[in-house]
Chain A
Amino acid sequence: MTNRSLKPYLEALPYALLLVLIVGVPIATLITISFWETDGLLLYPAFSFENYRELFTSSLTLTLYLDTIKFTLLTLFFSMIIGFTCSYFLVFFVKSLKVQIALFLLCTVPFWTSATIRMISWVPFLGKEGVFNSAVQGIGLTDTPLEFLLFSDFAVVLTYVHLFTLFMIVPIFNSMSKISPSVIEAARDAGANDFDILINIIIPLTKTGIALGSIFIVALVMGDFFVVRIMSGGQSASVVSAMKNEIDQLYYPQAAAAAVLLIAMVLIFVSLILRVVDIRTELAR
């Protein structure tokens, strides 16, 4: 009897230990250090709320979060539209399974090179004397180069969408391909048009995928500093890029406090998403 009730716990034990080791310990360290003090070199164990007080009273924190959230929402919006459209096409318009899989793999081709290379390759394309501007000027659409293309918020969002849309395509594709064709057939028999089917059947049934994709994108965009730094030409800052500036100056406790706040913010975002879609029951479906 006791054996039976212990068994699931024992089975989960290795995972639990691993989780404590690689997630629990670092986060506990982070939280501990966020209460410490520093003089710019050495850390002094303490229990001070000063780092947090500074964080919450600085207008910079708000600016940074507004910027980061703006990037997150824009990226979510565009990657959702592209991800949904691609998956919709793959699932409902491509009849042959082989072609479907081939096209799906095609979506992953850009991912065969590193994210950094995919990002950097936008720079010569979008620059003042870049490929795009030369082309636009060449065909006489404009006289002066379009400067907003590079080192701008536009470039940042473009890169995020390019880098992260696959994380949206995969889960949406997955949930869409689970939709039974007979459901759609039945709806059509009952007189529904394509739009009705999209709104009333496909979107509700793919929201798990959308939610999963959104979680990836929220975590990736909110935790990024490299794309913001390179693609904005250093013109914009993100929560993490400000944190990196702190770390470079050896202000670890302040950076730790900022990191704890970021984790809290990401958790809030994710729990909001989970509130809309109950992923666990949906996945078990």
Chain B
Amino acid sequence: MAKLDKGNNRAGVSRRSVLKGGTATLVAGSGMLAAPMVWANNLKDITLQQVGPSYSVYPDIAAQASADLGFKIETQGAWTDALMARVVNQPETVDVADLEFWALSKVWRSKMLHAIETSKIKNWDKMIPLFREGKNFDGSDASRQGILPYEVLYVDGPGETSFAGGATDHATLVPTIYNADTLGIRPDLIGREINSWAELLNPEFAGKAALLNIPQIGIMDAAMAIEARGDFIYGDKGNMTKEEIDRTIDILIAAKKAGQFRAFWSSFDESVNLMASGEVIIQSMWSPAVTAVRTRGIDVSYAPLKEGYRGWGIGMGLMSHLEGLKLEAAYEYLNWILEGWQGSFMAKTGYYSSVPDTAKAALSAAERDFWYEGKPASEDIKDPFGGLQGSVGLVRDGGSFEDRIGNIACWNTVMDEERHMVKRWNEFISS
């Protein structure tokens, strides 16, 4: 592949170098304070357009917020890739963007997002230390393999194109929901304990394993498996060198040729169908997909593995074209999000809130015990729409909130060598 590699320095502009060398031009992108008196009156005419992936942006939440706040919030679904393109190319069509943290490393420097003043977010100080300080619950430093949200959460001020090293009073996003991902398995069809990522590449499951076909996440799951199997240790799974990418893809191509993989899924529903139909018995999976399979009465285990979880998080960003009253309304909305109603709604889809205290307060004791504390269900467990998730006695895979979120080994990411990675990934898929 040597001849390909040269292609990567194409424009002579590597992404990270732009990020790091971002000039400190202080452009006043944020809307300045509007006259406070006017706003109660005109508030009802305001409509905020929120765009984000379907697992984060629910019309139900927007409807509740609109009722509570007195102005209108409209929602539109868009996956992160499509949303990034919109934020950059059609910023005026979005007011509030639900972006995954890794996406920030791509889109923040476009200056299309507003630097959020953390002092205006009431519950900012109640946010878990993982986001605010990059620390685990026990005070240890969180894993920085991949893009730890903390690394891209702060900027020095409005107009900054690079991220601040530590905590400041300006944030890129307000973290909302997050989770720890692991492998989904069909315990009924496997019949033994699965406790390592290495099982994904175990020939025992040849023709029954699946990987997700989103290059930057799929390769991380593969890397977890390769490292767990003991092939080699990565310097940083979330930011591989070219050699590491090549070795990983070579291993994957060999596995594919040997018939390891039944499918590569690209959307949530595909992963649900693969698992529910029994085509696949071990695969990368997301939490709501697991709940969706369970709703069909099929047992899926989403068990913790000894190497830890792959974590991800999403937050709400405000677009920099917001100003005056609309900007104030957007801040109101962000504050409302952290007040608990949204957190309790999301908890029932399996996701955690960045301010767990308010979310827990809004859940019933039984729900709180099941979703957050990892205790056996004392009553039937339902999703936010009333679908049955499990009956009395069910225990959440991986246990309590602290156990799960405290055990994240790597984060969803964008690599410096992304171009090379995507190209090699395409080779893997077409091999």
Q: 15 new A-B pairs (CB below 8 Å) besides A63-B430, A233-B279, A237-B430?
A: A38-B11, A39-B14, A40-B15, A42-B110, A60-B426, A130-B277, A151-B262, A233-B263, A234-B265, A234-B429, A235-B261, A246-B422, A249-B81, A250-B88, A251-B419
A236 vs B210: C-alpha distance when bound (angstroms): 14
Q: Which residues of A contact B18 (CB under 8 A)?
A: 39
Nearest residue (CB) in B for A254 is: B419
- Rounded to whole Å, the gap between the CB of B159 and the closest CB of chain A is 17
Asked if A150 is at the interface of the complex by the 8 Å CB criterion, the answer is yes
Chain A, residue nearest B108 (CB): A41
B277 neighbours in A (Cβ, 8 Å): 124, 127-130
Which chain A residues border B7 with CB–CB below 8 Å?
50, 53-54, 57
Q: Name B252-281 residues within 8 Å CB distance of A.
A: 256, 261-266, 270, 273-274, 277-279
CB proximity to A under 8 Å, residues B7-23? 7, 10-11, 13-15, 18
Query: Are A151 and B427 in contact, with the CB atoms below 8 A?
Result: no
Q: Do the beta carbons of A147 and B207 come within 8 Å of each other?
A: yes
- Asked if B215 and A249 sit within 8 Å, CB to CB, the answer is yes
Main SS of the interface on chain B? helix
State whether the Cβ of B423 lies closer than 8 Å to any Cβ in chain A: yes
Q: Which residues of chain A have C-beta atoms less than 8 A from B4's C-beta?
A: 54, 57-58
- Give per-residue flags for A22-55: 1 if the beta carbon is below 8 A from chain B beta carbons, else 0: 0000000000000001111110101010100110
Could you name 9 residue pairs across A and B whose Cβ atoms are closer than 8 Å?
A37-B10, A50-B10, A129-B277, A147-B207, A150-B279, A233-B264, A241-B429, A245-B425, A249-B215
A151: chain B residues at CB < 8 Å are: 262-263, 279
The 6 A-B pairs with the shortest beta carbon distances in the complex, nearest first, are A234-B264, A233-B263, A237-B430, A37-B11, A248-B81, A54-B7
Q: Taking the nearest CB of chain B, how far is it from the CB of A102, in angstroms? A: 37
Known: A235-B264, A242-B426, A249-B215. A41 touches B107 (CB 8 A): yes
B209 CB → nearest A CB, Å: 12
Judged by a CB distance under 8 angstroms, whether A74 is at the interface is no
Determine whether A229 belongs to the interface, using a CB cutoff of 8 Å to chain B.
yes
Q: Would A44 and B11 be within 8 Å (CB), given that A234-B213, A235-B261, A242-B430 are in contact?
A: yes
The answer to whether B44 has its CB under 8 Å from any CB of chain A is no
Task: Decide if B84 touches A250 in the complex (CB within 8 Å).
Answer: yes
Which residues of chain B are within 8 angstroms of A270 by Cβ–Cβ distance? none
B 224-265 to A, binary, CB cutoff 8 A, 1 in contact else 0: 000000000000000000000000000000001000011111
- Minimum CB–CB distance for B250 against chain A, Å: 14
Q: Any chain A CB within 8 A of the CB of B192? A: no
Shortest CB-to-CB span from A128 to chain B, Å, is 5
Q: Which residues of B contact A150 (CB under 8 A)?
A: 279
B256: chain A residues within 8 A (beta carbon): 235
Closest to A147 in B: B207
A128 and B278 contact, CB distance less than 8 A = yes
Judge whether B418 is part of the interface by a CB distance below 8 angstroms: yes
Binary interface encoding of chain B residues 197-220 relative to chain A, with 1 for a CB under 8 A from any of its CBs, else 0: 000000000010010011100000
Whether B11 lies near A39 (C-beta < 8 A) is yes
How far is it, in angstroms, between the C-alpha of A48 and the C-alpha of B3 when the chains are bound? 18
| A205-264 with Cβ < 8 A to chain B | 229-230, 233-237, 241-242, 245-251
